Amino acid sequence: MQATIPAGLDRKEAEVYLRLDPNRLPKHIAIIMDGNGRWAKRRHLPRVAGHRAGVASVRSTVETAARVKIPSLTLYAFSEENWKKRPKSEVDFLMGLLCRYLKQEVPTLNKNNIRLEYIGRLHELPPVVQKKMEEARQATSTNTGMVLTLALNYSARSEIVDAFRSIVDAAARNGGLDHMEIDEESVSRHLYTRHLPDPDLVIRTSGEMRLSNFLLWQLAYAEIYVTPTLWPEFRGVHLLEGIAEYQKRERRYGGLADHDHHHASKARS
């Protein structure tokens, strides 16, 4: 049977899509968008030109993910470290880019039934930016399709610290520390990502083999796909190639492979 190609895919995307098993798509994909600076440098442009070009990649990736019905996509837009260690001019530029993106993209997000969320220490962002973020979130809050989560001023270690604080606070409010329950379930429920399943696949662009303090708890069993493509050159077709690679991998979660399992239970019987 010929698989149906989702509406809106271009020819190259359709070609890769036909190699995918639509029943085994990842439920949550997380992306570390890296290489904007290198892309700009190669063109003898200022770093910020790379960030500007990166917005087109965000647009393409988000639309393709929604079209093939990925339930959740999370993008590492900037880390706590980026925000604290980069020159103010670059940070200001990124904030401006984000505000413009939010303003321009809301109609497209609505058209594609995408709900916008954020993770990170959002209260540390400039109040004007927070206001625009909240408006965009509200404007897309009733959409029922893909959840697009932007990680802004995000650090996984800070997130875990905040989760512990929130567990202790909740216990103090609900009958005292004797009633505090800590297990994997409760930690997950206090992370910023409580609205999401753990990612099945994490993609990093521009070749670096690091997690860079991104979703450390949530990525425990994720497949890692690193592509040399720089973020400003990444498009929907590259996302689909990442999914194709993911589908070739065998996921075991610490158990045995299916065929080994079969042998093991046969040996026991």
Stretch touching ligand FPP by CB under 6 A, among 3-11, 19-27, 52-60, 221-229: 52-60
Contact 217, 194 (CB under 8 A): no
**Can you tell me which of 20, 55, 160, 180 binds ligand FPP, judged by CB under 6 A?**
55
Place of tokens 């019987």: 269
d(CA 134, CA 196): 19
The answer to whether residue 16 forms part of the interface with ligand FPP (CB under 6 A) is no
Stretch touching ligand FPP by CB under 6 A, among 3-11, 49-57, 164-172, 239-247: 49-57
- CB-neighbour burial class of residue 46 (10 A; exposed 0-12, middle 13-18, buried 19+): middle
**Can you tell me which of 16, 17, 25, 51 binds ligand FPP, judged by CB under 6 A?**
51
The answer to whether residue 137 forms part of the interface with ligand FPP (CB under 6 A) is no
The answer to whether residue 28 forms part of the interface with ligand FPP (CB under 6 A) is no
Contacts of 46 (CB under 8 A, 6+ apart): 40
Which residues partner with 227 through β-bridges?
205
- Out of 10, 21, 23, 82, the active site residue is 82
**Of 119, 99, 109, nearest to 139 (Cα)?**
109
d(CA 56, CA 60): 6
Q: Is 34 a catalytic residue?
A: yes
**Can you tell me which of 36, 60, 72, 153 binds ligand FPP, judged by CB under 6 A?**
36
d(CA 40, CA 139): 33
Give min distance, CB of 220 to ligand FPP, in A: 24
Which residues partner with 225 through β-bridges?
203
Give min distance, CB of 133 to ligand FPP, in A: 11
Q: Which residues bind ligand FPP (CB under 6 A)?
A: 33-38, 51, 54-55, 58, 75, 77-78, 82, 97-98, 101, 150, 231
